[in-house]
Chain A
Protein backbone atom coordinates (compact mmCIF):
# COMPACT_ATOMS: atom_id res chain seq x y z
CA UNK A 1 0.00 0.00 0.00
CA UNK A 2 1.35 3.38 -0.96
CA UNK A 3 0.35 6.59 0.73
CA UNK A 4 -0.15 8.24 -2.59
CA UNK A 5 -3.68 9.57 -2.75
CA UNK A 6 -6.83 9.39 -0.66
CA UNK A 7 -9.85 8.38 -2.70
CA UNK A 8 -13.53 8.71 -1.84
CA UNK A 9 -15.98 5.92 -2.58
CA UNK A 10 -19.04 8.11 -2.73
CA UNK A 11 -21.67 5.37 -2.41
CA UNK A 12 -20.30 4.31 0.96
CA UNK A 13 -20.23 7.78 2.52
CA UNK A 14 -23.00 8.47 5.03
CA UNK A 15 -21.96 12.09 5.75
CA UNK A 16 -21.26 11.17 9.36
CA UNK A 17 -18.58 13.89 9.59
CA UNK A 18 -16.13 11.68 11.50
CA UNK A 19 -13.32 12.24 8.99
CA UNK A 20 -13.92 15.99 8.91
CA UNK A 21 -13.75 16.22 12.69
CA UNK A 22 -10.69 14.04 13.11
CA UNK A 23 -8.62 15.63 10.32
CA UNK A 24 -5.68 17.38 12.03
CA UNK A 25 -5.10 19.64 9.04
CA UNK A 26 -8.78 20.62 8.76
CA UNK A 27 -8.53 19.89 5.04
CA UNK A 28 -11.79 17.99 4.52
CA UNK A 29 -15.00 19.89 3.85
CA UNK A 30 -18.30 18.08 3.74
CA UNK A 31 -21.77 19.36 3.08
CA UNK A 32 -24.92 17.31 3.35
CA UNK A 33 -28.63 17.46 4.05
CA UNK A 34 -31.18 15.04 5.43
CA UNK A 35 -34.22 13.65 3.68
CA UNK A 36 -37.12 11.57 4.93
CA UNK A 37 -37.24 8.07 3.56
CA UNK A 38 -40.32 5.98 4.25
CA UNK A 39 -39.63 2.29 4.11
CA UNK A 40 -42.42 -0.12 3.43
CA UNK A 41 -44.06 -1.26 6.64
CA UNK A 42 -42.28 1.34 8.74
CA UNK A 43 -44.38 3.44 11.05
CA UNK A 44 -42.35 6.63 10.71
CA UNK A 45 -40.13 7.98 7.96
CA UNK A 46 -36.39 7.55 8.46
CA UNK A 47 -33.88 10.41 8.32
CA UNK A 48 -31.18 9.72 5.77
CA UNK A 49 -28.13 11.91 5.12
CA UNK A 50 -27.46 12.84 1.53
CA UNK A 51 -23.96 13.92 0.56
CA UNK A 52 -23.96 17.24 -1.29
CA UNK A 53 -20.28 17.95 -1.52
CA UNK A 54 -17.03 16.46 -0.30
CA UNK A 55 -13.73 18.21 -0.76
CA UNK A 56 -10.18 17.43 0.25
CA UNK A 57 -7.73 20.31 0.08
CA UNK A 58 -4.59 18.53 -1.05
CA UNK A 59 -2.49 21.61 -0.49
CA UNK A 60 -3.03 21.01 3.25
CA UNK A 61 -3.52 17.25 3.50
CA UNK A 62 -0.69 15.65 5.46
CA UNK A 63 -1.41 12.10 4.27
CA UNK A 64 -1.71 10.86 7.83
CA UNK A 65 -4.60 8.56 6.96
CA UNK A 66 -6.59 9.36 10.09
CA UNK A 67 -9.70 9.93 7.94
CA UNK A 68 -9.27 6.48 6.39
CA UNK A 69 -8.83 4.94 9.83
CA UNK A 70 -11.86 6.56 11.42
CA UNK A 71 -14.28 6.02 8.54
CA UNK A 72 -16.68 3.35 9.81
CA UNK A 73 -17.95 2.62 6.29
CA UNK A 74 -14.61 2.40 4.42
CA UNK A 75 -15.65 5.24 2.18
CA UNK A 76 -12.10 6.57 2.12
CA UNK A 77 -9.15 4.51 0.94
CA UNK A 78 -5.55 4.83 -0.17
CA UNK A 79 -5.30 4.89 -3.93
CA UNK A 80 -1.78 3.94 -4.88
CA UNK A 81 -2.22 4.50 -8.57
CA UNK A 82 -2.56 8.23 -8.37
CA UNK A 83 -0.36 11.12 -7.40
CA UNK A 84 -1.46 14.72 -7.50
CA UNK A 85 0.57 17.30 -9.39
CA UNK A 86 -0.99 20.59 -10.41
CA UNK A 87 0.11 23.82 -11.96
CA UNK A 88 -2.05 25.99 -9.78
CA UNK A 89 -3.02 25.82 -6.17
CA UNK A 90 -6.78 26.04 -6.67
CA UNK A 91 -6.65 22.73 -8.55
CA UNK A 92 -5.55 21.01 -5.36
CA UNK A 93 -9.03 21.33 -3.92
CA UNK A 94 -10.65 18.15 -5.17
CA UNK A 95 -14.37 17.41 -5.10
CA UNK A 96 -16.42 14.21 -5.25
CA UNK A 97 -15.78 13.64 -8.96
CA UNK A 98 -12.00 14.03 -8.81
CA UNK A 99 -11.72 12.04 -5.61
CA UNK A 100 -13.21 8.89 -7.08
CA UNK A 101 -10.92 5.85 -7.07
CA UNK A 102 -8.81 5.35 -10.18
CA UNK A 103 -10.45 1.98 -10.88
CA UNK A 104 -7.31 -0.07 -11.42
CA UNK A 105 -7.33 -1.48 -7.92
Chain B
Protein backbone atom coordinates (compact mmCIF):
# COMPACT_ATOMS: atom_id res chain seq x y z
CA UNK B 1 0.00 0.00 0.00
CA UNK B 2 1.50 3.36 -0.96
CA UNK B 3 2.05 5.65 1.98
CA UNK B 4 2.52 9.34 1.98
CA UNK B 5 4.60 11.19 4.52
CA UNK B 6 4.31 14.86 5.28
CA UNK B 7 6.64 16.86 7.47
CA UNK B 8 5.51 20.17 8.83
CA UNK B 9 7.19 22.68 11.11
CA UNK B 10 4.91 24.88 13.15
CA UNK B 11 5.28 27.60 15.76
CA UNK B 12 4.58 26.53 19.35
CA UNK B 13 1.55 28.81 19.34
CA UNK B 14 0.06 26.81 16.45
CA UNK B 15 0.85 23.42 18.00
CA UNK B 16 -2.60 22.65 19.38
CA UNK B 17 -4.55 24.12 16.49
CA UNK B 18 -2.51 22.19 13.91
CA UNK B 19 -3.10 18.92 15.70
CA UNK B 20 -6.77 19.68 16.09
CA UNK B 21 -7.08 20.42 12.38
CA UNK B 22 -5.25 17.25 11.45
CA UNK B 23 -7.53 15.22 13.64
CA UNK B 24 -10.55 16.70 11.97
CA UNK B 25 -9.02 15.87 8.59
CA UNK B 26 -8.99 12.20 9.55
CA UNK B 27 -5.57 11.84 11.14
CA UNK B 28 -7.03 10.03 14.11
CA UNK B 29 -4.23 7.56 14.79
CA UNK B 30 -1.77 9.02 17.25
CA UNK B 31 1.54 7.18 16.96
CA UNK B 32 3.96 9.05 19.18
CA UNK B 33 5.21 12.31 20.54
CA UNK B 34 8.83 12.78 21.49
CA UNK B 35 11.65 15.26 21.89
CA UNK B 36 14.72 15.67 19.69
CA UNK B 37 17.55 17.67 21.17
CA UNK B 38 19.33 19.33 18.28
CA UNK B 39 21.81 21.26 20.30
CA UNK B 40 22.08 24.92 19.39
CA UNK B 41 19.48 24.61 16.67
CA UNK B 42 19.44 27.98 14.91
CA UNK B 43 21.56 29.38 17.69
CA UNK B 44 18.94 28.65 20.33
CA UNK B 45 19.04 26.17 23.19
CA UNK B 46 15.74 24.84 21.95
CA UNK B 47 14.41 21.31 21.95
CA UNK B 48 12.33 20.01 19.11
CA UNK B 49 9.08 18.22 19.85
CA UNK B 50 7.80 15.88 17.16
CA UNK B 51 4.39 14.24 16.95
CA UNK B 52 3.31 11.64 14.45
CA UNK B 53 -0.33 11.36 13.43
CA UNK B 54 -1.69 9.06 10.77
CA UNK B 55 -4.95 8.14 9.17
CA UNK B 56 -6.63 5.04 10.54
CA UNK B 57 -5.55 2.87 7.60
CA UNK B 58 -1.99 4.26 7.98
CA UNK B 59 -1.92 5.34 4.33
CA UNK B 60 -1.21 8.94 5.20
CA UNK B 61 1.34 10.02 7.79
CA UNK B 62 1.84 13.47 9.17
CA UNK B 63 4.78 14.52 11.32
CA UNK B 64 4.58 17.89 12.93
CA UNK B 65 7.44 19.42 14.80
CA UNK B 66 8.03 22.58 16.74
CA UNK B 67 10.94 24.23 18.51
CA UNK B 68 10.30 24.60 22.20
CA UNK B 69 12.08 26.80 24.70
CA UNK B 70 10.71 25.19 27.84
CA UNK B 71 6.92 25.21 27.52
CA UNK B 72 4.38 23.78 25.14
CA UNK B 73 0.60 23.50 25.52
CA UNK B 74 -0.53 19.97 26.25
CA UNK B 75 -2.66 18.07 23.75
CA UNK B 76 -4.00 15.48 26.18
CA UNK B 77 -7.52 16.93 26.04
CA UNK B 78 -7.49 16.42 22.25
CA UNK B 79 -5.65 13.08 22.33
CA UNK B 80 -5.74 11.40 25.75
CA UNK B 81 -3.21 8.78 24.62
CA UNK B 82 -0.60 11.52 24.31
CA UNK B 83 -0.36 11.81 28.07
CA UNK B 84 2.26 9.06 28.49
CA UNK B 85 4.33 10.56 25.70
CA UNK B 86 4.11 14.03 27.15
CA UNK B 87 5.08 12.81 30.59
CA UNK B 88 8.04 10.95 29.16
CA UNK B 89 9.04 13.94 27.06
CA UNK B 90 8.74 16.18 30.11
CA UNK B 91 11.01 14.14 32.35
CA UNK B 92 13.52 13.17 29.67
CA UNK B 93 13.79 16.50 27.83
CA UNK B 94 12.67 18.94 30.49
CA UNK B 95 9.74 20.33 28.54
CA UNK B 96 6.71 21.53 30.46
CA UNK B 97 3.38 20.65 28.92
CA UNK B 98 1.03 23.27 30.24
CA UNK B 99 -2.36 21.88 31.07
CA UNK B 100 -1.07 18.30 31.03
CA UNK B 101 -0.13 15.91 33.79
CA UNK B 102 2.93 16.83 35.84
CA UNK B 103 3.31 13.32 37.19
CA UNK B 104 6.67 11.72 36.26
CA UNK B 105 6.40 8.56 34.19
CA UNK B 106 9.59 6.63 34.90
CA UNK B 107 11.92 8.77 36.94
CA UNK B 108 11.74 9.68 40.56
CA UNK B 109 11.01 13.30 41.19
CA UNK B 110 13.83 15.78 41.65
CA UNK B 111 16.49 13.55 40.19
CA UNK B 112 18.43 16.33 38.55
CA UNK B 113 18.57 17.50 35.00
CA UNK B 114 16.60 15.85 32.18
CA UNK B 115 18.81 12.93 31.10
CA UNK B 116 18.24 13.05 27.36
CA UNK B 117 19.30 16.66 26.92
CA UNK B 118 22.75 16.98 25.43
CA UNK B 119 23.58 19.70 27.92
CA UNK B 120 23.13 17.21 30.78
CA UNK B 121 26.59 16.36 32.00
CA UNK B 122 27.28 12.80 33.08
CA UNK B 123 29.62 13.63 35.92
CA UNK B 124 31.11 10.13 35.89
CA UNK B 125 32.52 10.81 32.43
CA UNK B 126 34.32 13.89 33.71
CA UNK B 127 35.53 12.38 36.97
CA UNK B 128 36.70 9.06 35.53
CA UNK B 129 40.02 9.36 33.73
CA UNK B 130 39.51 8.26 30.15
CA UNK B 131 41.87 5.35 29.43
CA UNK B 132 42.00 6.45 25.78
CA UNK B 133 43.72 9.68 26.79
CA UNK B 134 47.03 7.87 27.25
CA UNK B 135 49.56 8.00 24.44
CA UNK B 136 51.96 5.30 23.32
CA UNK B 137 54.50 7.97 22.36
CA UNK B 138 57.09 9.29 24.74
CA UNK B 139 58.44 12.74 25.13
CA UNK B 140 62.12 13.24 24.46
CA UNK B 141 63.65 16.44 25.80
CA UNK B 142 60.19 17.96 26.04
CA UNK B 143 59.57 17.33 22.34
CA UNK B 144 56.64 15.18 21.30
CA UNK B 145 57.63 12.13 19.37
CA UNK B 146 55.38 10.64 16.73
CA UNK B 147 51.97 11.98 15.86
CA UNK B 148 50.72 12.51 19.39
CA UNK B 149 49.38 16.00 18.77
CA UNK B 150 47.13 14.86 15.93
CA UNK B 151 45.38 12.32 18.10
CA UNK B 152 41.90 12.73 19.39
CA UNK B 153 42.10 13.49 23.10
CA UNK B 154 38.45 13.76 24.03
CA UNK B 155 36.38 10.70 24.83
CA UNK B 156 33.60 10.02 22.32
CA UNK B 157 30.35 11.80 23.09
CA UNK B 158 31.94 14.42 25.29
CA UNK B 159 31.43 18.00 24.07
CA UNK B 160 34.50 20.07 23.34
CA UNK B 161 33.82 22.76 25.88
CA UNK B 162 33.48 20.41 28.82
CA UNK B 163 35.46 21.38 31.82
CA UNK B 164 38.23 19.03 32.71
CA UNK B 165 39.05 18.11 36.30
Chains A and B directly touch (beta carbon < 8 Å): yes
Q: A26-B130, A28-B131, A47-B146 are in contact. Are A33 and B152 (CB under 8 A)?
A: no
Question: In the complex, how many angstroms separate the beta carbon of A4 from the nearest chain B beta carbon?
Answer: 23
Q: Are the C-beta atoms of A29 and B131 separated by less than 8 Å?
A: yes
Q: Are the C-beta atoms of B146 and A34 separated by less than 8 Å?
A: yes
Question: In the complex, how many angstroms separate the beta carbon of A35 from the nearest chain B beta carbon?
Answer: 9
Interface residue tally for chain B (C-beta within 8 Å): 14
Interface residue tally for chain A (C-beta within 8 Å): 18
Tell me the residues in window 108-161 of chain B with beta carbons closer than 8 Å to chain A beta carbons: 128, 130-132, 134-138, 145-146, 152, 155-156
Does A38 have its Cβ within 8 Å of any Cβ on chain B?
no
- Complex interface: chain B residues within 8 A of A17 (CB): 132, 134-136
CB contact between B134 and one of A20, A22, A34, A47 (< 8 Å): that residue: A20
Complex: A32 Cα to B137 Cα, angstroms: 8
Q: Are the C-beta atoms of B134 and A26 separated by less than 8 Å?
A: no
Q: Are the C-beta atoms of A26 and B152 separated by less than 8 Å?
A: no
- Complex interface: chain A residues within 8 A of B131 (CB): 20, 23, 26, 28-30
- Complex interface: chain A residues within 8 A of B135 (CB): 17
Q: Are the C-beta atoms of A21 and B136 separated by less than 8 Å?
A: no
Q: A30-B131, A33-B136 are in contact. Are A21 and B146 (CB under 8 A)?
A: no
Query: In this complex, which of A17, A23, A33 has the most chain B Cβ atoms within 10 angstroms of its Cβ?
Result: A17
Query: In this complex, which of B132, B146, B155 has the most chain A Cβ atoms within 10 angstroms of its Cβ?
Result: B132
Complex: A77 Cα to B131 Cα, angstroms: 20
Q: Are the C-beta atoms of B128 and A26 separated by less than 8 Å?
A: yes
Question: In the complex, how many angstroms separate the beta carbon of A56 from the nearest chain B beta carbon?
Answer: 11
The 6 closest A-B pairs by CB, nearest first: A21-B132, A32-B136, A15-B136, A49-B136, A20-B132, A29-B131
